[in-house]
Chains A and B, each alone.
Chain A
């Protein structure tokens, strides 16, 4: 089944404890992206990647890092989480052809930083 898989789905952590949210897609998509969703603010793009070893900042990259060493994986790293990073995070991928730019989203990871 074609899918985007995120882990963990739920996490409660404490300020300053490094964590990684993994994202993997099995559709051979070039494009992958991370978003956070907060009430009243909608979906905001954190980072995106057009291909292996190519990443770029979205609208809210501060406090996050990403890497794209393999085409299928695009982990989101929080080196020193803070309470303002409590949010619902979505990973998404897309083939990004001209005629087919649909984003496929993972199920989301709800992160709470205490």
Chain B
């Protein structure tokens, strides 16, 4: 099985940088996803990490360390529209392949 931990809530200021952490304990690992979910809407894909290191995509970056069971999502130049929940999800391997386990999400509030 998978156990995924991320902070419940965070607050940051418009224009600032925020880092949302995700730790996981898994029986197998194929990759880690980050999704964004605005209130009342469906999740939308942000990033997918398979190998260790940093993946940058515009204002958003995602980092993975498989040996530490750790990932973070970095949001730069925060905008009000970034207020949303951010979901970390792990894909299992072997018998758990294609089974995706989500963390409970981190609700980010961006304030002026």
Contacts and interface: CB of A to CB of B under 8 A. Distances in A.
A44 B102 contact: yes
B26 interface: no
Contacts of B48: 101-102
A81 interface: no
Chain A: interface secondary structure?
Answer: strand
A35 B99 CA distance: 11
Contacts of A104: 45
14 contacts: A40-B104, A42-B87, A42-B103, A42-B105, A43-B43, A43-B102, A48-B99, A50-B98, A56-B99, A59-B99, A101-B91, A103-B35, A105-B43, A108-B41
A107 B99 contact: no
B101 interface: yes
A45 interface: yes
Nearest to A41: B104
Contacts of B104: 40-42
B31 interface: yes
B44 interface: yes
A95 interface: no
Contacts of A108: 41-42
A74 interface: no
A50 B99 CA distance: 10
B19 to A, nearest CB: 20
Contacts, number: 52
Interface in A62-114: 90, 96, 101-108
A104 B44 CA distance: 7
B101 to A, nearest CB: 7
Interface string B63-96: 0000000000000000000000001010100000
A60 B111 CA distance: 36
A105 B44 contact: yes
Report the 6 A-B pairs with minimum CB-CB distance, sorted nearest first. Answer: A42-B104, A105-B42, A43-B102, A102-B45, A42-B102, A42-B105
Interface in A16-41: 31, 33, 35, 40-41
